[in-house]
Structure 1
């Protein structure tokens, strides 16, 4: 969450990935039982259920939003069978007033037994709730987190946490002090788990600082290693706590455990993230402090390794949950944030994604954080974030994600509770109303009327909760209205569980200023979705609830895994009965149980549609089969066979020159090409450096190792930015010469530092040869004998106009005349000269004649085919229609062995905020709108009324067009404006216009003189595809594909695309693909990959080199 006057910032987690880490994912085929369900949920009204608690707040001079920003976060809700009658009861936390315990009387009737039970917990400020059997007597107890201001900051009542011990007679006794659980820090929530492996449940307390004036203050200090961020608290009371269960009392071991920290934690999750048998804990932190992943070291200590597991995280991380979302039997993580799903709200509210602040935070180690919901897919030992691909990234001010199969179709769905009482991040309120009220002296009165008056000026906008039905293959559908969950409110904590014991997960949502939302799930009643199964656990003597149990239901080739960890979502505690939706499964082959202490159990041949009770006493050391692993096809030699190359980018920020460009054009390298450079018959390697750094040539030795050769290129050529390279014998002397494209955007347009270079191979020495003058930032380059005269000509694509995005650069066809090149573009292929911002060129026979075609792809460009004619090359009328994309790579190959080549095209991918469709246009307008000599690129999207509206924030817009400040004094006016209201009709008519039609990486096949696109699997769409190669990787005679990519150069509002690991697509010979996960096949391309090239070694092995921007190159050997 965020508060007024303080801007949101980003603090993600850098994912530092070593090449032997297990970090892949596979989106398995988990297609649901067909058909959505209308009215899956039926709301049970307070008059029917008797659940009538209303969490309303009383603003006081001592406690109000001004001095305690979390006052409107809401209270938790928990599900427990406190009286052991077989029906789940409900406990609701009221932030300031009496909590309520409702006994489930059956048939959706609930009885308020709060007074009798003695669990009202009146007074003070309360937040989260846990259900846990602290005294291990077999009856669930209630642990209540109390929060509020620091002692001495006002007349705040006692804030010590409370523990209500179940007396087994319908009453509870408060005993927190007796057990050492009466922490008086400001606690949001707790989590109980066995961190030390002694069998009992220890306690993690999620505490927060109460100095909300410093929430986004960068905390850093000068060290011998430079300026580094401070992670420890100013005062001990600000830190989370780890309390060790010593039997009858909990002991604070925070300091010795390495948990001493600072952050505004809003949720926590317990899971064994590194599969070492020990429980770890993930902390979702609000504001700028990064989320934490505490990995259990097994010696009583933890280390924060979040940046080793997550490449970026949510900025304002709130609630969180873990479950398998893609059917690969690994739990995936969802965290939620505050990104609005409406363009007006998105631009009206402060989003914290300011480039200068973001860059400062990442430089100081706060990590990469994006203000949007995150879906982190588990690769085995690390995660790839796919929230935008899945369609769950924006759900407004979100609190509690819950991951469970609500419709029992076999796929885990995602519910998100939403809403905040006041739009405290409304930019107009921050800039105008708030400042005016403060200046008026209103808040100096420090009375209730003053604070209420202040709140009355803040806009309010209740929001709908969101339900996303899992359609399989990482595709989710918003079924909120269809499933009966619509309606705006101020929701916070939410839980699920089977309140009527009918086999499906019901839903309970806590709200502010209204009774809770209680929804009866009708999946089983309506006979939709499929089979179901439930597991109720009877645990050990020390852990009667069985917390930490991992249960896997196995049916055929499907594995369904759930973990018994009731703390999920936000501030609540879900039903401890494990819920499995099984879809079309008719019989369970076996159940694999892995208890928290490592004991195991297997139960075989079980019927579906039942609740099974499992008992720890029956566990032993049964062998668990686990998921089958695929064949290892690549290995990573630790010595890299001598390939030691690290690409280092020169410092340049494209956004300082053009604030509104979608990506930096200065980070296109490195160049990579392999082939014999010294005439010994062995493949060598050329890797190009950024401007100011040397390029490298590695010569292969007779033993198959690579040795860097010194001084292969003139040192003066370090002034160029090498972005691509080509080996060709341009002079016909039988050896390979080298062509290097000079690109980037750091130099002025037209600079001679964009001149491409040609090096003649003179007995193994590379000597500069002449080229025509080419003052263009280039990139793509290929060779072909276009005029069939027996020598190789060269095609070069213009990549960009530095400082003039998206103006079209010059592209070239260079004709070879006895080793001398001339520019014949205008004569031979004039349409190519200004075809677009070219990123990739492929040459091959795709029309079935005896002349090769030229295929062009680029940014904001359609796939364009040039065919040979009598007088040169002409654009083909059969070029794929509707293909304007942000193409990054092209490959021509015959995938199905029919003699007709296909075009494989790598695009930006659908894990993007753009995602155009017939209903959602994405368009770029460009011109010098303000007459200052600089091109202004305005990226727009169509709103619900079909109007084209800017995608960027007002702050970024005005950075590019400061003359518009008077026109858009208020943010709301800008947020509502279309481009037709911002610019005149004449300005728009004169502007260059580009439209994006697809961002999907695809295969284009020709049929009946038309090219049709088939999308590559979802795992490919996770990130940009920068390079594609074809080979038979598994020896089955089929042409497979290897693709690498990512894109760290995108602007801050879009966020970097870093989820790719490299994708191996195995051709099944029937027009489809299998996608083995990286953890099986063994190749990892998890950095900012730009190029991919094969290399043959002297020992007969084949290797694949991945060249990464601003990082080390990697070598992988085929097995």
Structure 2
């Protein structure tokens, strides 16, 4: 027996596999995965499709990128409502938008939560009725009236939607945010960059696109993929400028793009924008994924200006130093060390990036060591770090969908529609693909883009809202069967902006500390529940909750109850536990 063991060890070494050390205990197998994601969109009433370009062919890049989604409580009743953005379609054979009967106009859809796991379509009554090529949504209470407002980017003209207590009003012109020209708005984020308590606004522009002059598929050097004629770009198309608007505190904004340093970063194709305090200095920074170019990390210089430090911070390129097609961005703390990490999704035949935060605005790409460096045939889009099983270790979720439907006909290994993917966090360092055991909704094929995360049915686990191209959305209800504890933290700023955007919350329980940030936008062009959800595993008490407010103030609370939403008001403390 001893001889056989030695022979086996020698054989393993020949293969480059180290033999197990005698006497060393092997890692314990993780407990059973008890998460099942069920698509309940149809029975919940989310039935209208998001129209976005052609279904079987896409002549121009404007038809490919799709749009985001949002979980928000627009009517302040404590239940998450759902916003699903939509684009439109070109007239067949033409370079103008198609026309639709009013009843079938492809508008973005707002669904009010009825509190019984169903939704009511309130799109018209709520004032969400613009037809156009919507891209991204970011949310925040910019006028500090207690209701969440929306900014939606478009190819064309972006819009600022002020929440008037349940009905939205387009105040773009009155707020001095109207553009004098057609632009392709992409990522956006409300951010209080100067800590004055008012939310300012960052807006990215993807690229300069002229539909009338655009090349047809296959006509130019950047109009082929794997030898197949496809729509052209983004390479070869002109880049545009990012904008930054300072909130004047009176309902209007001032363009400070140049003075702030935001517009000085050029030569990128920016997409999703996430604003958080990435260096822990109490001032909110900005991370922007970029397509086919280096990502941007705007460090807040604390004087009203920003500097791009993505390259020196280690969050601009892949592990081997190459630019990637950055689409979606998730912000979380996967290794529970109290420092924010980043997860970025990319194009087909590439791997995602997992930027582990080292502190002081330094990152390292840990994707390979974490088991994520597996190339796949799908473009990855909306992503998040939800703790799906409430075990205290954030998992990874992302959606997929290729951009060239024509390719599948010649290369079936690159299907237009793809799965949703779940990686279970095994031990804070490694991930395991559990897609196949996370419910049939994961393997259902869709061409998806945005994904928003939140607990829409208030049952203590995180659900997912997904924007699907030319289909109704998916509402993935998390039917978690285990008994792990959880807490959700809802913040209200007083000195800080009322939405507490940019705040970081650290929860210490069971020997580990988790960090999460309140975000205006993340995933892919999407907005998550403002309540921060923390899984707690078997712990039935929380040692400490620390709130790092965007104003610079810090508060710590002990003995916070579990299995409920805890509401904390800046300067006051815990005001309720529901």
TM-score (norm 2): 0.80
Query: Which residue in the other structure is 2:286 paired with?
Result: 281
Q: 1:336/1:59 Cα in 2 relative to 1: closer, same or farther (>3 Å)?
A: closer
Query: Which residue in the other structure is 1:146 paired with?
Result: 154
Query: Which residue in the other structure is 2:404 paired with?
Result: 422
Secondary structure, aligned partner of 1:593:
strand
Shift of 1:45: 4.0
Query: Which residue in the other structure is 2:37 paired with?
Result: 41
Is 1:269 aligned to 2:249, yes or no? no
For the 8 Å contact 1:283–1:293, the answer to whether it is kept is: yes
Query: Which residue in the other structure is 2:336 paired with?
Result: 327
Is 1:518 aligned to 2:475, yes or no? yes
Query: Which residue in the other structure is 1:306 paired with?
Result: 310
Is 1:338 aligned to 2:347, yes or no? yes
Secondary structure, aligned partner of 2:125:
helix
Q: 1:104/1:471 Cα in 2 relative to 1: closer, same or farther (>3 Å)?
A: same
1:837-868 C-alpha deviation (Å, 9 max, x unpaired): xxxxxxxxxxxxxxxxxxxxxxxxxxxxxxxx
Shift of 1:240: 0.8
| Counterpart pick for 2:463 among 463, 485, 506 | 506
Higher relative CO (Cα under 8 Å, sequence separation at least 6) belongs to: 2
Q: Distance in 2 between matches of 1:275 and 1:42?
A: 37
Please say which of residues 290-299 and 495-504 is displaced more in the overlay.
290-299
Residue ranges of structure 2 left out of the alignment (5+ in a row): 1-26, 89-105, 224-235
| Counterpart pick for 2:559 among 605, 613, 632 | 605
Query: Which residue in the other structure is 2:120 paired with?
Result: 111
Secondary structure, aligned partner of 2:489:
strand
Shift of 1:460: 4.7
Q: 1:418/1:618 Cα in 2 relative to 1: closer, same or farther (>3 Å)?
A: same
1:18-64 C-alpha deviation (Å, 9 max, x unpaired): xxxxxxxxxxxxx9994233552222141x1110121233559xxx9
Map 1:242-391 → 2, pairs under 5 A = 242-248=244-250, 249-260=252-263, 261-287=266-292, 289-310=293-314, 312-313=317-318, 315-340=324-349, 371-381=350-360, 382-391=362-371
Query: Which residue in the other structure is 2:11 paired with?
Result: none
Question: Over the residues paired in the alignment, what is the CA RMSD in angstroms?
Answer: 2.8
Q: Distance in 2 between matches of 1:589 and 1:471?
A: 23
Q: Distance in 2 between matches of 1:419 and 1:82?
A: 29
| Counterpart pick for 2:501 among 547, 550, 559 | 547
Q: 1:234/1:402 Cα in 2 relative to 1: closer, same or farther (>3 Å)?
A: closer
Map 1:638-1037 → 2, pairs under 5 A = none
For the 8 Å contact 2:451–2:465, the answer to whether it is kept is: yes
For the 8 Å contact 2:328–2:382, the answer to whether it is kept is: yes
Q: Distance in 2 between matches of 1:110 and 1:130?
A: 21
| Counterpart pick for 1:85 among 60, 77, 86 | 77
Q: Distance in 2 between matches of 1:388 and 1:216?
A: 30
For the 8 Å contact 1:497–1:506, the answer to whether it is kept is: yes
For the 8 Å contact 1:421–1:512, the answer to whether it is kept is: no
Secondary structure, aligned partner of 2:388:
coil
Query: Which residue in the other structure is 1:121 paired with?
Result: 130
Query: Which residue in the other structure is 1:615 paired with?
Result: 569
| Counterpart pick for 1:187 among 174, 185, 188 | 185
1:744-768 C-alpha deviation (Å, 9 max, x unpaired): xxxxxxxxxxxxxxxxxxxxxxxxx
Q: Distance in 1 between matches of 2:369 and 2:357?
A: 15
For the 8 Å contact 1:421–1:460, the answer to whether it is kept is: no
Q: Distance in 1 between matches of 2:431 and 2:500?
A: 32
Secondary structure, aligned partner of 2:173:
helix
Q: Distance in 1 between matches of 2:548 and 2:185?
A: 31
Shift of 1:401: 1.4
Residue ranges of structure 1 left out of the alignment (5+ in a row): 1-30, 148-158, 218-232, 341-370, 430-456, 621-1119
Q: Distance in 2 between matches of 1:58 and 1:234?
A: 19
Secondary structure, aligned partner of 1:587:
coil
Shift of 1:238: 1.5
Q: 1:317/1:49 Cα in 2 relative to 1: closer, same or farther (>3 Å)?
A: same
Query: Which residue in the other structure is 1:496 paired with?
Result: 453
Q: Distance in 2 between matches of 1:607 and 1:410?
A: 16
Query: Which residue in the other structure is 1:630 paired with?
Result: none
For the 8 Å contact 1:32–1:411, the answer to whether it is kept is: no
Q: Distance in 2 between matches of 1:207 and 1:424?
A: 27
1:606-627 C-alpha deviation (Å, 9 max, x unpaired): 222121100013269xxxxxxx
Query: Which residue in the other structure is 1:9 paired with?
Result: none
1:404-423 C-alpha deviation (Å, 9 max, x unpaired): 21110110000011012525
Shift of 1:572: 0.7
Q: Distance in 2 between matches of 1:391 and 1:53?
A: 37
Q: Distance in 2 between matches of 1:552 and 1:459?
A: 41
Q: Distance in 1 between matches of 2:74 and 2:567?
A: 18
Map 1:166-181 → 2, pairs under 5 A = 166-168=163-165, 170-181=166-177
Q: Which has the larger radius of gyration?
A: 1
